[in-house]
Structure 1
Amino acid sequence: MSGLAITSLTLSHFRSHKAAKLVFDGRPVALVGANGAGKTNILEAVSLLSPGRGLRRAAAEDLARRPEALGWKLAARVSGIAADHDIETGAEAGEARSLRIDGKPAPQTALARILRILWLVPAMDRLWIEAAEGRRRFLDRITLSFIPDHAEVSLAYEKAMRDRNRLLKDQVSDARWYAALEAQMVEAGTAIISNRLAALDRLAHAQSNGSAFPRADLALTGPDGGTELPAEDLALALVEGRRRDMAAGRTLQGPHRSDLRAIYVSKGAEAGQCSTGEQKALLISLILANARALAADLGRAPVILLDEVAAHLDISRRAALYDEICALGAQAIMTGTEAALFEAMGDRGSVVTIRDDNGVSRISE
């Protein structure tokens, strides 16, 4: 099985790269170089070929190379779900990000119908011990990979909730002002909960018993750690919670307060109580399960971005990771400070050296 792939990538005034061009052959590739060479910036550029703000969730103006701040541009040729496409995205100084697909303006949501991109970066290492917001974001990225329309219902829910929160802050008590907004929240919120549960079900079935990485039992919970509010009860909860919400000045019940619970199956332990290495292994396991499920859906594996992942794995786990990626036929773009971390990949992948030369990226195989 061949995977979805980035076949070429050109960067102009993006982060640390004044100019850079990379050509890929669809195999896994390791970007190797010293800290500060711009390896993660290349991963971030690839992540912007999917809907949203990329793996750092940066604003468009923050992506421009400093000190020039002239704006930035990315151009990519991709082997997509149904066809090859040319994608261009960027932002002029002081302007919003634009997107063109095959030369025509397009919304970011169109990217989800061309490519599916998953990523794991060091900032996610604290996922199981940080606030619930990070886990919701992690789950919603997984959900979006299965259900591209999840982005639209999430935006609809957030817009209606912002309007409701404005009423609460203004101490509006007339029920008629809330009814329409709460109806919109219920419709979108019900879809959000349903989509998330469907994604968790897909992950549960895609975790491999033969993997070197641990299985996780996942559950969607409410803000207090209890059972997630059933979708059909959301309308009543919003009506009955108005007085409490008004005191707080915000909506306290709904899918925007959900959390993701993970149990390390073989130990029967909460993910947050496991060691740092075990937490990392769980994350890798879930990314691989996500990739397997997508490969089964699409007939092609997604692109996988792994930033500095090899340095945190022992030799056997590194080899197992490369074996699983290659068995999927996935294009994995990985980073590391030395080529030795990727020796177990052998000729199944390639190693590209990245170095900075007075602001120009020098790239060599």
Structure 2
Amino acid sequence: MASAIFGSLTFRLSTVAISFLISIGDVSGANPVASGTESKANTHSSSQGVKHSVNSELVSDLDTAALDKLRAEGTPRGRAPSGWPAFNWPEKRDVLFGFYGPSEQEKQFIVEAVPQSPIVKPEHKRKLLVFYRCQYPHASIATANFAYQQLAKATDAFDIMLTDDPALIRTSNLSQYDALLLNNTTDFDVTVGADGRAAILNFVRSGKGLIGIHAAADSCKGWRDGARLINGIFSCHPWLPTGTWAFQLQSPEHPINQAIEGKGFWLRDEVYAYRDGSHSPDQSRELVSLDLTKSENHDSPSLRESLRDRTNAKPHRPVAWIHRFGEGRVFYSNLGHNNTTYWHPMVLTHYLAGIQYALGDLHADDTATTELAIVNTSPAPIDH
């Protein structure tokens, strides 16, 4: 019933209305974390834990073709409330977690896809803070939060806390964590304010870690230090989320790339082009880039037509990288627009390797790409 209600909405839903639908169970997915709080989901328990018996029952009702379609495209949803990206944060959050939150089947896909052990054994107990408040919202935020929780639970690589409260992005609170993950936090520099910006810089420079996922790079347009911290500012996305794109690995022998078997791949997701001059291979060790030898990356009908010419504008399009920032470590990955990305086993392993690098457990060469004498590559396979 709720999907029909949501599908017919053309006016702005109130927080109370959405909360009521969630409370009666008509809208699947994780409940939002209350503003001003942290939600703990360590490796032993989760406030948004999976009900395995329910998930198994739901999945078993589908034939193989239907299950494959669901895995490839996600759970069908109706029309979201009109104008919801412009809502204030509490209402926006309710849509993200109530309307777009992962279904029980999608949760099961994630549980089945997460690695069951860490890339390397943690040197000691690690704590990761995930911040997910944003300006422009990405519908995959709630699904991503659930995936990060399951990574923590399955691998015991770290304890995880989730928050949407900018007041917690302060030195006094961050000091207890080993790394901060920015989950599709468009314009996070605006969200956290001047004190938060200073706290993040000090946190990383002091030897801690930062993980930026997808829209974390759609930030810092007027904050030079933040732009250097991420080493990339979103310009546009010629490669739309409906397309399946070819990716190559740079330095396939690198430990983070070895975690995904050192092979190029194809993936359905959205890919950014970055502002001229905002990304420098002189700063980062680039690990994944678009495989521009594949024609699909230039002539696919899933390209944004008005930006098609941008696909040939540069000979290189970086997608994921690592670098040092002061004494700290930064991992950024463009992958993460689509819900389906968060139950792709290879991507979850890619995230885990990057997270463990940022936490300080996966020791990996972060020499800048331009300082390498030879950069080996592993192209995407011809068939996909």
The two structures share one fold, judged by TM-score above 0.5: no
What's the TM-score once normalised by structure 2's chain length?
Answer: 0.24
Higher CA-based Rg: 1
Give the structure, 1 or 2, with the largest relative contact order (CA under 8 Å, sep 6 or more).
1
What's the TM-score once normalised by structure 1's chain length?
Answer: 0.25
